[in-house]
Amino acid sequence: MEIRRVHVTRLIFFNLKVKEMKRVLFVVLFCVFAGCSGDPESPLASTDGPISVEVWKQFEVVDKYAPETLYRLRKNNSKLQNERNWNRFMRDVVVPERRKDIPTTY
């Protein structure tokens, strides 16, 4: 009995039909180009250090409410280190700001 060695790529691509090959090619190209967006990152969000409330209010909506951004905001202010003060700040400042930025209608 003779065993034939077949290259894996040959086995995969020659057994696919043309329509399936187009799908595979589309998925591969999409995965390659998905991470190549031309949009530059917000300059305010690119820094890693602590931020103040004034700087935080200038962030774009997407970056403004990210957990990392809120952590940096809390790290800057010593009063916000206390859990009770942080909850009060979230209730009195962050939630009203979010309601202005992201209005919802029920």
CA pair distance 17, 34, nearest whole angstrom: 25
Rg of the chain (C-alpha set): 25
Q: Is the pLDDT of residue 66 over 70?
A: yes
| 55 against 33, higher pLDDT | 55
Give the mean model confidence (pLDDT) for residues 40-65: 77
Q: Pick 20 or 78 by higher pLDDT.
A: 78
Which pTM was predicted?
0.53
More confident residue, 43 or 2: 2
User: What is the percent of the chain with per-residue pLDDT over 90, rounded to a whole number?
Assistant: 25
Tens of pLDDT, residue by residue over 11-49, are 555 555 666 766 766 676 665 666 655 554 554 555 677
> How far apart are alpha carbons 88 and 104 in whole angstroms?
22
Q: What is the mean pLDDT of the chain?
A: 76
Write out the two tokens for 7. 């290259």
